[in-house]
């Protein structure tokens, strides 16, 4: 039976300065963070492709002109999402890399983000309705007011490579397994772990799975406090969470059936 690890990713109030939106029906938009590291010349990438910018993303809202040319750290990546073709993830931080490195084929790497509740017609950081709030009567009753933490994507593991030494042999192993991953464009290569997912069982959810209670984004619900390794105390929405086999079985019931088949 599979296990799972959930890690926090995607846009936040520090990078690029706003959270991605969750809409009243639980749909959402995946907004990656900016690329904050130096990158190799394009000829040094394992595959011949540019570092994408915010202008390249398929988003349902407008972005400030000043942000559109900013390179993005497209990690995680999923087939068919923002023009990507593979399911990969890399991480440079030991607190997340350790639990991920322990995953085995068939286990799940789940992704959550803090998202801000926005009206269905939200125009984005610029545009009509940028500061509007939804009619509470139109909001699904499991969504937190203002902001909350939500699972939004998953990756069924095909293989994980521990690259904690971050040397040439680790980079070569990562380039063989996940040649399109954003960390292989960085100079120097900095991932302590890279993961490749089954492209047919990895991707965005159709609807978020709340980790916050409906009353307040800052308070964790039972998926965190009862099922995960995390206490739900303090800034729990920034920490990795481990789920054992029984807890993962409960989580998998919440995933879209197209990812579980």
pLDDT digit string, tens, across residues 62-82: 998 999 999 999 999 999 999
| Nearest-angstrom CA–CA distance, 174 and 163 | 8
The answer on pLDDT for 132 being more than 80 is no
Tens-digit pLDDT profile for residues 199-208: 999 999 999 9
- For 88, 200, 224, the CA distances from 180, given in Å and listed in that order, are 8, 17, 32
| Nearest-angstrom CA–CA distance, 229 and 225 | 8
Q: What is the pLDDT of residue 128?
A: 55
Closest CA to 46 of 159, 181, 179: 179
pTM more than 0.95: yes
Which tokens in the block code for residue 102? 């322990």
Mean pLDDT of 147-171: 98
The DSSP secondary-structure symbol of 16 reads B
User: What's the half-sphere exposure (Cβ side, CA atoms, 13 Å) at 199?
Assistant: 7
- 3-state SS, one letter per residue, for 149-193: EEEEEEEEEEEEEECCCCCHHHHHHHHHHCCCCHHHHECCCCCCE
Which of 62-66, 145-149, 227-231, 233-237 is predicted least confidently? 62-66
Q: CA end-to-end span of the chain, whole Å?
A: 15
Q: What is the pLDDT of residue 261?
A: 60
Tens-digit pLDDT profile for residues 28-60: 999 999 999 999 999 999 999 999 999 999 999
> CA torsion, points 226, 230, 233, 235, in degrees to nearest 10?
-130
Mean pLDDT of the chain: 95
Which residue, chain included where needed, has tokens 């029906």? 25
The DSSP secondary-structure symbol of 26 reads S
In this prediction, what percent of the chain has a pLDDT beyond 70? 97
């Amino acid at each position: 039976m599979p296990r799972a690890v959930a890690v926090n990713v995607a846009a936040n109030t520090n990078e690029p300065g706003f959270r991605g939106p969750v809409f009243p029906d639980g749909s959402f938009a995946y907004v990656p963070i900016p690329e904050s590291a130096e990158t190799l010349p394009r000829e040094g990438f394992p595959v011949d492709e540019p570092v994408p910018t915010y202008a390249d993303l398929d988003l349902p809202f407008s972005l400030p002109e000043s942000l559109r040319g900013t390179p993005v750290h497209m990690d995680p990546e999923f087939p068919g999402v923002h023009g990507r073709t593979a399911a990969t993830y890399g991480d440079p931080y030991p607190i997340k890399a350790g639990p991920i490195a322990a995953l085995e084929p068939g286990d799940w790497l789940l992704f959550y983000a803090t998202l801000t509740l926005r009206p269905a017609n939200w125009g984005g950081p610029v545009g009509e309705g940028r500061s509007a709030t939804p009619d509470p009567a139109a909001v699904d009753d499991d969504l937190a007011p203002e902001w909350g933490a939500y699972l939004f994507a998953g990756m069924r593991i095909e293989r994980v490579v521990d690259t904690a030494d971050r040397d040439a042999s680790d980079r070569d192993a990562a380039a063989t397994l996940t040649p399109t991953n954003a960390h292989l464009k960085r100079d120097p290569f900095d991932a302590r772990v890279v993961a490749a997912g089954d492209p047919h069982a990895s991707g965005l959810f159709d609807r978020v799975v709340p980790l916050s209670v409906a009353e307040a984004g800052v308070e964790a619900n039972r998926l965190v406090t009862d099922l995960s390794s995390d206490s739900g105390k303090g800034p729990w929405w920034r920490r990795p969470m481990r789920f054992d086999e029984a807890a993962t079985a409960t989580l998998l019931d919440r995933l879209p059936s197209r990812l579980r088949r």
